[in-house]
Chains A and B, each alone.
Chain A
Amino acid sequence: MKNMRDKLSFLFLLIFFSHSLFAQKTEISGTVSDSITHSPVEGVVVKALLNQKIIAFGTTNKLGKYNLGFENQSGALTLNFQHISYNSKVKIASNRTQQLNVSLSSKTLMLREVSVAAPTVIHKTDTVSFNVGSFKTAGDRSIEDVIKKMPGVNVNSDGKIAYQGKDISKFNIEGLDMLGGKYTLASRNIQAKDVNRVEMIENFQDVKQLQGKEYSDKVALNLKLTKEAKMRLLGTAELGGGFRGDDVLYHGVLTGMTFAKKVQFIGTLKANNYGSSLSGEVMGFYQNDNITNVMNGLMNSDLSSSPPLSPNRFQQKNDFMTSLNSVIKVNQNVIWRINADYTRDQKQFQSETTSSYFVNNNNVEIKETQSPQYLKNSLKATAYLQVNSTKVYLDDAISFVASNEDNHFGVITGGNSIQQNVTNNMKGIQNRFTLIKKNKKKQYNFASQVNYSDMPDNLLTISGAPGVTGKFYQAGGGKSFSTTNSTSFGYDLSRVSQLSLSLSLNANYDRIYTQLQQGDSSMLNRNQGLKITTSISPEYLLQSLNQRYGFSIGLPVNFYNLAFLNRLNPNADFYYNMPFFSPKIEGHYIFSAFTKLEFNSGINNSIGDITDFVVNPIQTSYNQQIAKSGILAKSSNLSSRLNFEFKKPVELFFSNYSVSYGAVKRNILSSQTVNTGTTNVGVNTSGVADENTTKNISVLGNASKVFSSIGTTLSLQSTYGISTGVQIRQGIKTDINSTNFSVSPDVKTQISKQLEISYSMNYSLSSQQAINFTTTYHQQSHNISVSYIPVDQLIIYGKMDFNRREISTDNYKNMQLFDAGVRYKRKKFEAELKLNNLVNTKEYSYTVVNQLDIFSYKYYLNPREILLIFKFNL
């Protein structure tokens, strides 16, 4: 072997030699090694100097080899071998091509340490704050218009703000939270020009004791106002009018605001008969803001259906709203807050419904003409106190709600004119309390919420029903009391794993009273009971350091303690104490930067509530009755999902695909009996003890590609789903299978800075199969919108919706809606002209297949509208 290598080396040397002779070049090569270990030294700087001048230089490679070449020249040649951790060596060599091996002796590193300037200082970032001043353009009005444009921020049509997919949990103005969850009052009324900066604060920790100590994943928004805005009264006045056919439209708004250092105030007064409901403007977005009553689940105050259409298209309304809000900063640690809202929503519309019920392999049809009228008054007031010092955190919010509803649902069917009136009023009170106290080693967290609500007389009065002489009524009353207390904590087990535990206690006490009175006969329910749910949720998390895989497993357990009393029949009292486990598992695996797989699976075991024991019938409309089984509902919901992500960022292509499977096992099966009298069709719904399973599988695909060269984004979404279930109709168990398919392509293109066009389309198919029964419905919709901005102050826009829906087999209806508008802004004045339903489309129809039955709806649309609104900003 060694012989062979020597021969080869000789051959190489020969080649080098002849080559350099031919090129008239001097080549010096060799190996540099460590004088003690004899191992090659890499990175040695080798310089060839001829008469003290560098003529060639190089470094040794991983084998310690170097190779210098230079044109033949005469003179004294020295070779210089240098390395940062070896003593340098100078060799005087003959000026000719040769091989020169050297060995260097190592030394301790000698380096003259110098620092002539300090590096840029690190910015500490306990709170990360983001700002959007530069997103404001001339067309913007409220600060919401600007927030909408902030990347990463999503504002939905209600005005709810989410940042990086997470709902904001605080909306502050100059660091003070005046409005709680109903922040649209600020986001839609404060002018963009009065705001200096909008800050998004990630990892927001409100509790001073925990700042810098406890991680929070909350996001808060803070508005920083301009100096000028803080010193004076702000406000807007809007006045508008127009026509909808022969009807006159009006619109009026008056808003006043001040934001001083210690006191903030927003007051507003609005009235109109156009646009979306005004009660939405004081809607709270925080989950635990709402007070509910047990009767909400038993009797419905809305007997009509709502179409997939903006309410302004078909509703006539008359709304009034006023809201007063103030926050006072008592000192550095204490704030007080008062909020009060009053809303009056009045609306009405006209529609027709054809309901086709499946009875004994036949369809029974009823046609109804409906004219619902709604009226709801509601009042809400909240007082809030917060003490937030470095030693203790305490807050308490007490809210009072009162509302009343007076709704009328006129129905004409089979020549009968039926009047159904729903009236109710509700009073409720809620208290939320939080205490956090931390000392050196321990931390006490306590959160408590108490709700009480009373709905004493919910009344449905029905007159003119076929087969019934005179009036009959369904009355109901409910009282609900609930309290929720919770806490959680976690431990890091290692750098890759974490164990967490959360505990909560929930107690609900409800009282129900119902009475169905028809002449002398009455059917009653009187129930009361307590449901206590104690939850312990341990969870284990494991994630590899490089995040290639992650895994979590949880085993929440709910201990249920129930005591439900039936005051009419003590034999039907029900007591139950049982734990329910709901295991869940989640994980992900990243194959490469292009592909990622995620999965989750779990079984959620849950039980029903006191309403399961409301066994005597409740009339829910003139022809519908519902009665519960008297059996505690239990459901076991198995769900699994697999998601696969594939992307090619360089080509701007993104896609994901998912498959889900669900199986819900229930102990109660819904049973419907359709009574076909000579003049009327009635539907009675009840539940029977019969174990049954509903299964569904769905597949979803999503892909998008950006063509930057033509400013166009193309995306495609498609879903396919099948499900199976069972229902009892006329005492016969019937299997129902349904299939759904939909595909929606979408194109957005920016032709120039002034002109933007988008088009989206949807095609869907839904099919239901039962014995002797198959229905399939097709529908498609197309939306085109164009906006043109010739100058900054002026926006011209137009929209077209086209729908083609199958109303009954092979019977299609086409509907088109055109809208357009112009908006112009100049300094403090603004004007907008809106034109809606330009082609005066009169009807909107669609059909829904609901298990065995088919419902076809027709809504009468509002005629062509023209509206001119002037706005003056203070």
Chain B
Amino acid sequence: METHNQINPSIMRTKHIQVTLSILLFLAPMSPITAQASFKLDSQASILIDKALMECIYRYTINVPLLNSPTNEKSVETYTTILQANGSTSKFWDWNSFKKDSIIYTSVNLPADSLNKLKEKYYSIVRYFFAPEIFKNYPKEKITVTDDITPEDYIYEENKVDRKWVLQEGMLKVCGYECNKAVASFGGREWTVWYTPEITISDGPWKFYGLPGLILKASDATATHTFEAITIRKSDRPIYLNKNISQLKISKDLFIKNKNRFEEDPDHNLPITNSLLVMSIRTDMDLVLIKGKRTSPRLKNKNLVYSPLELK
């Protein structure tokens, strides 16, 4: 501490004050800020499980009557899904997710900020999103399914059992391919499917497989759920399993039971205590999102009837 005998009140003794950084602060040219750190979007670690030989894009529609509709109006939800297959292993999932992830996986060597820009460009929220991802024959002789019960992610395994198809007479052209008919009962519904012997892959949309050819169309007896191929193409893209750190392991039966209970009345089954703060609404698409994860449109529109794809 120093002492001063004379005081000049109008002038502060600023000789002791070092304002070294201030000039730098005002004038330093700044590099553009890339504050959106890449890792903030990468919530998943991916395991490469196989490589596809072909891809089949399916349109999946759910057709349910609206409650309280005087004109018996129906609601049609249209999803776009994709099967990546190679004859032994396959992945069936949402097409928009596939599109987004393809960009991320194929640009591993890009610098982080360019990658971010790419992701930003393709990051999308679509009106209808098919949440489950089905990995057939992974691990061997099993099926792995990842899905969600908002707002949590789940993962379960089931055995790749015989679907007990009964081949029937009948011909239908789907996506330019001649298809044969087969029926089976699965997941509490009676299914009619059309498979083409021309594509000798014993696979199909969702949890369907086991016919002597690729299943191109499947619909249930109530005509509520329909999968139909719209594009068939070659591919050499890798098949990844996204291992999400927050995935909860569960048994198939418990999952189906809880999923259907939740979707039946999402309003009441939502764990509000935990998730209220992370909910948002997008009216342009009639969506409620929790932690950025879409929920059923039923959370908003109480007139929509829930029709589970898998009843049991």
Within 8 A of B (CB), among A71-121: 82-85, 88, 109, 111-120
Please tell me if the beta carbons of B199 and A111 are within 8 angstroms of each other in the complex: yes
B242, closest chain A residue (CB): A546
Residues in A whose Cβ lies below 8 Å from that of B128: 120
Please tell me if the beta carbons of A119 and B80 are within 8 angstroms of each other in the complex: yes
1/0 contact string of B121-152 vs chain A (CB within 8 Å): 11111111000000001001100000001011
1/0 contact string of B157-184 vs chain A (CB within 8 Å): 0000000000100000001110000000
Please tell me if the beta carbons of B282 and A130 are within 8 angstroms of each other in the complex: yes
CB distance from B94 to the nearest CB of A (A): 10
| A-B interface contact total, Cβ < 8 Å | 324
The docked-state distance in angstroms from the alpha carbon of A569 to that of B181 is 103
CB distance from B267 to the nearest CB of A (A): 10
Please tell me if the beta carbons of A593 and B284 are within 8 angstroms of each other in the complex: no
Residues in A whose Cβ lies below 8 Å from that of B111: 492
A57, closest chain B residue (CB): B212
1/0 contact string of A704-741 vs chain B (CB within 8 Å): 10101001010100000000000000000000000000
Residues in A whose Cβ lies below 8 Å from that of B185: none
B301, closest chain A residue (CB): A134
Within 8 A of A (CB), among B24-58: 24-26, 28-40, 42-45, 53-54, 57
A332 interfacial by beta-carbon distance below 8 Å: no
CB distance from A161 to the nearest CB of B (A): 13
The docked-state distance in angstroms from the alpha carbon of A547 to that of B24 is 36
B96 interfacial by beta-carbon distance below 8 Å: yes
The docked-state distance in angstroms from the alpha carbon of A126 to that of B132 is 26
Point out the residue from B87, B120, B285 that lies within 8 Å of A83, measured CB to CB: B87
1/0 contact string of A586-602 vs chain B (CB within 8 Å): 00001001100000000
Please tell me if the beta carbons of A491 and B243 are within 8 angstroms of each other in the complex: no
B71 interfacial by beta-carbon distance below 8 Å: no
Point out the residue from B21, B231, B250 that lies within 8 Å of A116, measured CB to CB: B231
Point out the residue from B86, B113, B152, B246 that lies within 8 Å of A492, measured CB to CB: B113
Point out the residue from B35, B125, B199, B230 that lies within 8 Å of A128, measured CB to CB: B125
Residues in B whose Cβ lies below 8 Å from that of A559: 18, 21
A528 interfacial by beta-carbon distance below 8 Å: yes
A677 interfacial by beta-carbon distance below 8 Å: no
A577 interfacial by beta-carbon distance below 8 Å: yes
B272 interfacial by beta-carbon distance below 8 Å: yes
Please tell me if the beta carbons of B281 and A150 are within 8 angstroms of each other in the complex: yes
B9 interfacial by beta-carbon distance below 8 Å: yes
Interface size counted on chain A using CB atoms at 8 A: 116
Residues in A whose Cβ lies below 8 Å from that of B222: none
Please tell me if the beta carbons of B202 and A43 are within 8 angstroms of each other in the complex: yes
Point out the residue from B6, B30, B78, B176 that lies within 8 Å of A442, measured CB to CB: B30
B contact residues, range = 35 or more
B3 interfacial by beta-carbon distance below 8 Å: yes
Within 8 A of B (CB), among A489-510: 489-492, 494-498, 500, 503-505, 509
Please tell me if the beta carbons of A214 and B243 are within 8 angstroms of each other in the complex: no
Residues in B whose Cβ lies below 8 Å from that of A59: 202, 210
Q: Given A122-B124, A649-B152, A654-B273, A113 and B25 touching (CB < 8 A)?
A: no
Residues in B whose Cβ lies below 8 Å from that of A495: 38-39, 42, 112, 115
The docked-state distance in angstroms from the alpha carbon of A534 to that of B45 is 41
1/0 contact string of A136-159 vs chain B (CB within 8 Å): 000000000000001110100000
Please tell me if the beta carbons of B268 and A711 are within 8 angstroms of each other in the complex: yes
Residues in A whose Cβ lies below 8 Å from that of B176: 112, 114, 116
Please tell me if the beta carbons of A485 and B274 are within 8 angstroms of each other in the complex: no
Q: Given A111-B233, A561-B19, A593-B248, A151 and B201 touching (CB < 8 A)?
A: no
The docked-state distance in angstroms from the alpha carbon of A762 to that of B212 is 68
B5 interfacial by beta-carbon distance below 8 Å: yes
Residues in B whose Cβ lies below 8 Å from that of A575: 1-2, 13, 16
B139, closest chain A residue (CB): A62
Q: Given A111-B54, A114-B176, A491-B31, A546 and B279 touching (CB < 8 A)?
A: no
A647 interfacial by beta-carbon distance below 8 Å: yes
Point out the residue from A45, A125, A215 that lies within 8 Å of B36, measured CB to CB: A215
CB distance from A293 to the nearest CB of B (A): 19
Please tell me if the beta carbons of A573 and B276 are within 8 angstroms of each other in the complex: no
Please tell me if the beta carbons of B283 and A133 are within 8 angstroms of each other in the complex: yes
Within 8 A of B (CB), among A309-367: none
B102 interfacial by beta-carbon distance below 8 Å: no
11 contacts between A and B (CB under 8 A): A114-B231, A115-B57, A123-B285, A152-B280, A213-B32, A485-B26, A486-B25, A489-B30, A534-B21, A565-B13, A573-B4
A residues sitting closer than 8 Å to B (CB atoms) are 42-45, 47, 54, 57, 59, 61-62, 82-85, 88, 109, 111-120, 122-126, 128-134, 150-152, 154, 163-165, 197, 200, 202, 213-215, 217, 438, 441-446, 485-492, 494-498, 500, 503-505, 509, 528-530, 532, 534, 536, 541, 543-548, 559, 561, 563, 565, 567, 570-571, 573-577, 590, 593-594, 647, 649-650, 652, 654, 704, 706, 708, 711, 713, 715
Q: Which 6 A-B pairs have the closest CB atoms?
A: A131-B283, A151-B279, A43-B87, A215-B36, A546-B45, A82-B200
B residues sitting closer than 8 Å to A (CB atoms) are 1-7, 9, 12-14, 16-22, 24-26, 28-40, 42-45, 53-54, 57, 59, 78, 80, 86-88, 95-96, 99, 111-113, 115-116, 120-128, 137, 140-141, 149, 151-153, 167, 175-177, 198-202, 210-213, 230-234, 243-250, 254, 258, 268-269, 271-274, 276-285, 288, 300
